[in-house]
Amino acid sequence: MSRLTLLLAAIIACAGCQDGAMEGERPNIVFIFTDDHTARALSAYGSVVNETPHLDRIAQEGMRFDQCLVTNSICAPSRAVILTGKHSHMNGQLTNGQRFDGSQQTFPKLLQQAGYQTSIIGKWHLRSAPTGFDHWQVLRGQGPYYNPMFLTPGDTLHLTGYTTDLITDLTLEWLEEGRDPDSPFMLMYQHKAPHREWHPGPDHYDLYEDTDIPEPPTLFDNYSNRASPAAEQGMTIARHLDVTDLKLRAPRSMNEEQAAVWEAVYGPRNEAFHAANLQGDDLTRWKYQRYVKEYLRTVAGVDDNVGRLLDYLDESGLADNTVVIYSSDQGWYLGEHGWYDKRWMYEESLITPLLIRWPGHVAPGSTTDAMVSNLDFAATFLDLAGAEVPADMQGRSLKPIFTGQTPEDWRTSHYYHYYEYPAVHCVERHYGVRTRTHKMIHYYNRGEWELFDLASDPMELTSVYDDAAYADVVTELKAELERLRTHYQVPEDTRPTGPCIPNERGVPVPPAE
Ligand code: CA
């Protein structure tokens, strides 16, 4: 594309820009993205388990979204939804195991056409090579916490150090030396953390060592009063965290004589020794502390590095004309319902954090409970760039919301669909609808339903689907669910299903011959 064509495209694209801003004034976009970070481990959302002062800055200087709901609570599918602005059944990425079709329309490609430089550094996790980016340095697959390799259009980079720090180093390097300072940019700065198996960085090995993390009220959920899938998954803290998650192999419990021998060999009785003698709920509590502390340490690493990036934006003078967005690919269980991991349409994994800062445009310290979604991100980025949002994108721009003018016809119901079964953690396929007051879930391969009254039962412990008092709600929500499935053009899921029996790690055991 010639410079003249680019300029013309920019002028046309900018016809709707605020205050008639010209090419040079279109905002830069920095999308900060993590993997598996629950809003309940972010102090901007009132966390009772940790502090995230740097991430909180984005909320303090911008808007916090309290109802950002994902369409499919699992890693690669969420990334595909964000890139395309379309539900999983439209972009083809139903599960983690599939390869993203990078030939399709994505918002980075459209931003390139609108004259933006596009860059992605960090976790990609979509198997195919990134498309639509002028610059990319991405982890291979899940990527390790230490000494990662980064795939690039040229040579593979092999780096030594802590991945969260290195992703930031590469990002700052690109901002300082790699980009063209004369045109706006869209940067995706994407962390692996705090994904399993939660390896902290050198600055945080000992964080929380002398503290007990508060337990959630549903840590010992017994899954009664719900459809069958909740009790049959493989993602409990009690039974499905193994030695690689806990980083400690407790010795078998022993009598005093054996203990004396142990002490002679290994020294003073340590945490592993004491853990070996724990049982039942006490053992679950111990595992909860081990797991959550490691998770929160990796969050602390992200928070420090986000601070480095925000400081750079300030010092370089970029901050004023840069929209900073923070989100994660889905929510996560920090022990609620006895779980780790995500996947469910229940609130903890359905809701993902979303913070947006744009100096002069977003009121500092503002919040919204508008029902938004990762489905809306692509349209938002295009709108910020003054580019047209294609009619086949299924989300809507959030710009009116964070600039203080929530449209009166904003959505009041949300469609959700999870597909990855049988697979790790054995969470049954389900779809459903969430309104402000209720949630209905259909486990369609089992013919089972759940209905939760979110006002009277916010922890979703009792399905009222069969309660006669809710008959009208059931009828109403079934109609709404059908309306949404038609609106989003959702086909029946006819792929084969099967039994799923998880092992100690939550991985399905192959069925016996
Ligand atoms: Ca994830």
pLDDT digits (tens, 9 = 90+) for 330-378: 999 999 999 999 999 999 999 999 999 999 999 999 999 999 999 999 9
At residue 430, the 3 state secondary structure works out as strand
- 131 and 98 fall within a common domain: yes
pLDDT in tens, 308-333: 999 999 999 999 999 999 999 999 99
Number of H helices, E strands in the chain: 15, 16
Query: What percentage of the chain reaches a pLDDT higher than 70?
Result: 95
Domain span at 264 = 209-288
- 225 and 340 fall within a common domain: no
Cα torsion at 212, 217, 223, 224 (round to 10°)? 140
At 271 the pLDDT is 85
Confirm whether 120 is domain-assigned: yes
- Determine the Cα–Cα distance for residues 294 and 353; give it in Å rounded to an integer: 20
Q: Which whole number is the average pLDDT over 410-432?
A: 98
Cα-to-centroid distance, 204 and ligand 1 (Å): 22
Half-sphere exposure at residue 62, Cβ-oriented, CA atoms within 13 angstroms: 24
pLDDT in tens, 110-150: 999 999 999 999 999 999 999 999 999 999 999 999 999 99
Cα-to-centroid distance, 450 and ligand 1 (Å): 25
- 328 and 189 fall within a common domain: yes
Cα-to-centroid distance, 99 and ligand 1 (Å): 16
- 34 and 181 fall within a common domain: yes
- 125 and 170 fall within a common domain: yes
- 257 and 342 fall within a common domain: no
22: confidence class by pLDDT, cuts 50, 70, 90: very low
pLDDT in tens, 431-488: 999 999 999 999 999 999 999 999 999 999 999 999 999 999 999 999 999 999 999 9
Confirm whether 258 is domain-assigned: yes
- 124 and 268 fall within a common domain: no
Which of 288, 312, 342 lies at the terminal end of a domain, its last residue? Answer: 288
- 84 and 133 fall within a common domain: yes
Structure tokens at 100: 């993203």
At 5 the pLDDT is 52
Cα-to-centroid distance, 378 and ligand 1 (Å): 18
Query: What percentage of the chain reaches a pLDDT higher than 90?
Result: 88
Residue 21: pLDDT over 80: no
- Determine the Cα–Cα distance for residues 82 and 186; give it in Å rounded to an integer: 14
Which of 267, 288, 309 lies at the terminal end of a domain, its last residue? Answer: 288
**Which H or E run contains 69?**
strand 68-69
Confirm whether 87 is domain-assigned: yes
- 327 and 347 fall within a common domain: yes
Cα-to-centroid distance, 351 and ligand 1 (Å): 12
- Determine the Cα–Cα distance for residues 279 and 220; give it in Å rounded to an integer: 14
CATH number at residue 186: 3.40.720.10
- 68 and 191 fall within a common domain: yes
Cα-to-centroid distance, 328 and ligand 1 (Å): 7
Cα-to-centroid distance, 76 and ligand 1 (Å): 7
Q: Which whole number is the average pLDDT over 31-44?
A: 98
Cα-to-centroid distance, 120 and ligand 1 (Å): 17
Which of 228, 254, 288 lies at the terminal end of a domain, its last residue? Answer: 288
At 68 the pLDDT is 99
- 374 and 284 fall within a common domain: no
Cα-to-centroid distance, 231 and ligand 1 (Å): 22
- 38 and 125 fall within a common domain: yes
Cα-to-centroid distance, 54 and ligand 1 (Å): 21
Cα-to-centroid distance, 87 and ligand 1 (Å): 16
Residue 274: pLDDT over 90: no
Q: Comparing C-alpha atoms, which of 234, 225, 218, 221 is closest to residue 448?
A: 225
Verify cis geometry, omega within 30 degrees of 0, for the bond prior to 23: no
Confirm whether 247 is domain-assigned: yes
- Determine the Cα–Cα distance for residues 322 and 32; give it in Å rounded to an integer: 12
Please give the DSSP secondary-structure letter assigned to residue 357.
E
Confirm whether 423 is domain-assigned: no
At 14 the pLDDT is 42
Residue 213: pLDDT over 80: yes
Structure tokens at 481: 């669910």
Cα-to-centroid distance, 271 and ligand 1 (Å): 30
270: confidence class by pLDDT, cuts 50, 70, 90: confident
What does the mean pLDDT of the chain come to?
A: 94
Structural domain count of the chain: 2
pLDDT in tens, 60-116: 999 999 999 999 999 999 999 999 999 999 999 999 999 999 999 999 999 999 999
Cα-to-centroid distance, 67 and ligand 1 (Å): 18
Confirm whether 52 is domain-assigned: yes
pLDDT in tens, 162-210: 999 999 999 999 999 999 999 999 999 999 999 999 999 999 999 999 9
Confirm whether 442 is domain-assigned: no
At 311 the pLDDT is 98
Confirm whether 21 is domain-assigned: no
pLDDT in tens, 228-248: 999 999 999 999 999 999 998
